[in-house]
Structure 1
Amino acid sequence: MEVKRIEIMDTTLRDGEQTSSVSFSASEKLTIAKLLLEELKVDRIEIASARVSQGELQAVKDVTAWAKESNYLNAVEVLTFVDKGISINWMLEAGAKVQNLLTKGSLNHLTHQLKKTPNQHFTEIKENIIQATEHGIETNIYLEDWSNGMRNSKAYVFEFLEFLSTQPVKRVMLPDTLGVLTPEESFNFVKEIKDKYPSLHFDFHAHNDYDLGVANVMAGLKAGADGLHLTINGMGERAGNAPMASTIAVINDFMPEVKIGVNETFLYTISKLIETFSGFMIPANKPVVGANVFTQTAGIHADGDNKNNLYFSDLMPERFGRTRKYALGKSSGKANIQKNLQELGLQLDGEDLKKVTQRIIELGDKKQVVTKEDLPYIISDVLDRSYEEKVKVNAYVLTHAMGLKPTTTVSLTINDEVFEESAHGDGQFDAFMNAIKSVFKQKQLKLPKLVDYAVRIPPGSNSDALCETIITWKSAEKEFKTRGLDSDQTVSAIKATEKMMNIVVS
């Protein structure tokens, strides 16, 4: 049997970041990019969209600088647009060498969104490819809405592919943009294209709107797809993209005709780290990486496992760096920190390591033990501080007495001006927020609305665990999240609020 090598492209940092309310900082993007290429060993990563923001430009510069030094630059890709060279110039400034050019893969999108003819579109694409080539930039092509194109305007799709077959394009990327395909369609559409253009490299890009992402990927591979686009934890718009962990397990266990280079033992580690960085929680029952998927609860299962492993399958937890558990229920110094980071499969540069070490020392003063499981939370808290500190909570007193309303007195500095206010509330944090509102009213500043408040502790922790509070805020312009970390729940919420104030105060 001939075995085919398949490219795995991770798009967590681009398509995955389009998950509602998710935004990675430059430090987080660099850390994730390193782990994806060096530890998970995916073939390529898509890290950003061109022209988004100055912050995104800096993040891409950081990643490409590292990638160039580490010989990964050709594995780092950026989404670009047919925009008369604006995206190309952005890429040149960012130091990127591979563009994933977004084009129209359906006549419906071309006609009603761009209002252009196929020839006009193809001419502009050709001009873009020529300009990219002149600047040493490699081109891959996205056929946006390709799945609906194959359903409703197949003649246009093949006219487009005929044009692309004459161009210096390395990969043609076939996205099920709206996640509407069935496995049967995925197989038939990819096979029809691959049979007609066997020499072209085709990537398949699945979304999960009907929970068919992994099934469609499997069908696309059987039909001859040469590469896949996946995201960690299935992050992405709407219901997300085809998830990395499940797809890798399926390929390794059910598709011997396919070979991939992904290191499956690192899947759980990177899933948990990205959960922490993004605030996008992994469902407990998510295959491979969920908290419960290797936990047996029923006593009969534990008994069966003792008797010739009756409830075991090929999906063994050790493959993914995990261990099987049996639930009981109704049914330091820098060197030491580095060692713990290594056990988690994490790497930090000297400056970030210094910041994490200092944070651990601070937390150690309040919490006697900082565990290995706490580290992703601490790293997330430290690397999230990318703002200029214009607001500082200097001091506060929180009082809570039986029969009396909670009260807070807070001292706050805003742009070197100190304020002190007291307020009552329904709880200690509510009282704190009321005091803050009074200060902001004096400064004629507007606080965003609190729309969600989530608290979590590292798995397996006790009552003295570190507590991470993730608060979602909504202003007139945007919705965003801030995180706070402390052994006290109210204090962690106050720290998250302090970050919010630094973001909204200009």
Structure 2
Amino acid sequence: MEKIQIYDTTLRDGAQAEGISFSTEDKLDIASKLDLFGIDYIEGGWPSSNPKDSSFFDSAKNSRFTHAKLTAFGSTRRVGLACSNDPSIKSIAESGVKCASIFGKSWDFHVTDALRISLDENLEIVADSISFLKNRGMEVLFCAEHFFDGYLHSPDYALSVLEAAESAGADWLILCDTNGGTLPSAVEDITAIVVEQFRTTVGIHAHNDADLAVANTLAAVSAGASMVQGTINGIGERCGNANLCSIIPNLELKMGLKTNIPDLSQLTAISKFVSETANMTVGRKLPYVGTSAFAHKGGIHVSAVLKDSRTYEHIDPSIVGNERRILISELSGNSSLKAKLGELGIDLDDEDGKRILQRIKDMESQGYQFEGAEASFELLIRRMKDGLRPPFRVEGFRIFVDVTEANVSSEASIKVFDVSGMMEHTAANGNGPVNALDRAVRKALERFYPNLKDVKLVDYKVRVIDGKEATGAKVRVLMRNTDGFDSWTTIGVSTNVIEASLSALLDSLEYKLLKSKEATAN
């Protein structure tokens, strides 16, 4: 079998996801990364639908892709318009790319009730649109919208639409599960019928409304489809599209099929890049590329994985560019703790292990969670095992809140001592009490430790631990900081959000100083 072609629609279908808005520069950056990754087709957008997509295709004319075919997307011609007068078809032909992807109706219900035209007229529209683009030298993918629903309702008509597309010269017949509700068994059976009946190569485009997009894609490939369409991380409208970050490794590693992806170990990196560009976090539990995909928490699991990773890992995480993570919690055993400390270069005897595990369990019963706060975890271990002491001490602080008709402002004053006993007493304003306290602490400590100026807050989360306590509930604060090279997360827990925030902040700054000291020593 020939290699499975990978068609990415992140820049078009993915951009239709709620909360995502790619700029022209974002789209160019992502397209470049996808090309280097080895994607065969990159759908750049719908040239006539909005100014950004038009700008993207204009800018892309100056870009050189080493592998991928940049593709313009659009619909078949409008009812009552010739292709030469149809803005969508014309914009595709004039986009400057050599490949077009157009969708047309294949469900008779849509033809009669949405377009309100005859079934034969729809066939003419499909054939005219494809012929128009083929006559201009373009490779044409015909996307049969709602194909599986259409086939289940009226198989003869759904197949007649594909016949019209093939007769007009379509290079690909793409079967779309547009509503995302078809079961894999039906997808496989119907795809097999299409593959057997048509000479034109077949592809699959699945949506994830029933959480079956990846399964449906693989089922179609099993039935003979040779192109898969999807998005990075499965982003897309409603529940999203088929996730290429799951499909590609499943094709290669599980089904033994080949793609044109030269280095699968770049998969996690491309997943993170698209997420960061879209200003969204990668789903922790995404298969293959999520941070939890190879994370182990239960003590029995960790013990087994350390003996042979095959016991609880279906692949070596490095194959897809991910890594194993050992999580520490009240469920952990001594083997989990030793494995985690081995990552940090800390030796541990059994007595220390028992004492530290008990301390972790006690703190987690109070609301702490160290799975996502590994900097605070390392500080806890070093304090208990090595007697690590903070290089500074907060003597006290005050927060003032001024309320006027115009706004609400906050001021924090704080006293901080360094290890030699020198005191810095300072104050700072902020948008709120936590922001003011954050600024005051940093302002004071930067006098003693100038390298703390490099530390920037990049994420701040507050979680109510027990909502039943209402405004008196404990809160958990997670704070992520970076120095421009590394980033780390710390935790604080209290019934007072300011106290919890201060605890997380002080841990973060202490961690930075610890790592700077270690770097200097090495």
How does the TM-score come out when normalised to structure 2? Answer: 0.63
Using a 3 Å threshold, how does the CA distance of structure 1 residues 456 and 206 change in structure 2: closer, same or farther? farther
Deviation at 1:203, TM superposition (A): 0.8
Q: Which has the larger radius of gyration?
A: 2
Kindly indicate whether the alpha-carbon contact (under 8 Å) linking 1:295 and 1:327 is maintained by their aligned counterparts in 2.
yes
Structure 2 distance, partners of 1:73, 1:292, is: 31
Structure 2 distance, partners of 1:462, 1:163, is: 56
Structure 2 distance, partners of 1:269, 1:406, is: 47
Kindly indicate whether the alpha-carbon contact (under 8 Å) linking 2:459 and 2:481 is maintained by their aligned counterparts in 1.
no
Structure 1 distance, partners of 2:132, 2:460, is: 49
In structure 2, the partner of 1:324 is 324
Using a 3 Å threshold, how does the CA distance of structure 1 residues 147 and 217 change in structure 2: closer, same or farther? same
Q: Which runs of 5+ in 1 are unaligned?
A: 332-399, 408-420, 432-453, 468-487, 489-506
Larger relative CO (CA 8 A, sep 6+): 1 or 2?
A: 1
Query: 1:187-336 alignment to 2 at 5 Å?
Result: 187-197=188-198, 199-256=199-256, 258-262=257-261, 263-309=263-309, 311-331=311-331
Structure 1 distance, partners of 2:290, 2:460, is: 15
Structure 2 distance, partners of 1:142, 1:109, is: 15
In structure 2, the partner of 1:18 is 16
Which residue of 56, 60, 81 maps to 2:57? 60
Alpha-carbon displacement from aligned partner over 1:83-134 (angstroms, at most 9, x marks no partner): 3331233234431222111100100111111111122122223332333233
Alpha-carbon displacement from aligned partner over 1:312-331 (angstroms, at most 9, x marks no partner): 53421101112212123332
What's the secondary structure of 1:65's corresponding residue? coil
Structure 2 distance, partners of 1:255, 1:406, is: 64
Kindly indicate whether the alpha-carbon contact (under 8 Å) linking 1:10 and 1:45 is maintained by their aligned counterparts in 2.
yes
In structure 2, the partner of 1:147 is 148
Structure 1 distance, partners of 2:265, 2:306, is: 25
Kindly indicate whether the alpha-carbon contact (under 8 Å) linking 1:105 and 1:143 is maintained by their aligned counterparts in 2.
yes
Deviation at 1:73, TM superposition (A): 7.0
Using a 3 Å threshold, how does the CA distance of structure 1 residues 462 and 241 change in structure 2: closer, same or farther? closer
How does the TM-score come out when normalised to structure 1? Answer: 0.65
AA partner of residue 275 (structure 2): E
Deviation at 1:161, TM superposition (A): 2.0
Are 2:35 and 1:37 aligned? yes
AA partner of residue 74 (structure 2): L
Structure 2 distance, partners of 1:162, 1:76, is: 23
In structure 1, the partner of 2:122 is 121
AA partner of residue 123 (structure 1): E
What is the root-mean-square deviation of aligned Cα atoms in Å? 3.0
In structure 2, the partner of 1:423 is 407
Structure 1 distance, partners of 2:243, 2:188, is: 19
Alpha-carbon displacement from aligned partner over 1:198-231 (angstroms, at most 9, x marks no partner): x111111111111111211121111111211011
In structure 1, the partner of 2:74 is 79
Alpha-carbon displacement from aligned partner over 1:433-456 (angstroms, at most 9, x marks no partner): xxxxxxxxxxxxxxxxxxxxx946
Structure 2 distance, partners of 1:462, 1:192, is: 53
AA partner of residue 10 (structure 2): T
Structure 2 distance, partners of 1:280, 1:463, is: 17
Using a 3 Å threshold, how does the CA distance of structure 1 residues 236 and 212 change in structure 2: closer, same or farther? same
Using a 3 Å threshold, how does the CA distance of structure 1 residues 60 and 406 change in structure 2: closer, same or farther? farther
Structure 2 distance, partners of 1:144, 1:426, is: 56
AA partner of residue 32 (structure 2): K
Using a 3 Å threshold, how does the CA distance of structure 1 residues 185 and 425 change in structure 2: closer, same or farther? farther
What's the secondary structure of 1:78's corresponding residue? strand
Structure 2 distance, partners of 1:97, 1:30, is: 17
Structure 2 distance, partners of 1:77, 1:251, is: 26
AA partner of residue 311 (structure 2): Y
Kindly indicate whether the alpha-carbon contact (under 8 Å) linking 2:41 and 2:71 is maintained by their aligned counterparts in 1.
yes
What is the number of equivalent residue pairs in this alignment? 358
What's the secondary structure of 2:167's corresponding residue? coil
Using a 3 Å threshold, how does the CA distance of structure 1 residues 456 and 13 change in structure 2: closer, same or farther? farther
Kindly indicate whether the alpha-carbon contact (under 8 Å) linking 1:406 and 1:424 is maintained by their aligned counterparts in 2.
yes
What's the secondary structure of 1:404's corresponding residue? strand
In structure 1, the partner of 2:159 is 158
Structure 2 distance, partners of 1:57, 1:130, is: 23
Are 2:48 and 1:47 aligned? no
Deviation at 1:461, TM superposition (A): 8.7
Kindly indicate whether the alpha-carbon contact (under 8 Å) linking 1:190 and 1:223 is maintained by their aligned counterparts in 2.
yes
Structure 2 distance, partners of 1:308, 1:122, is: 58
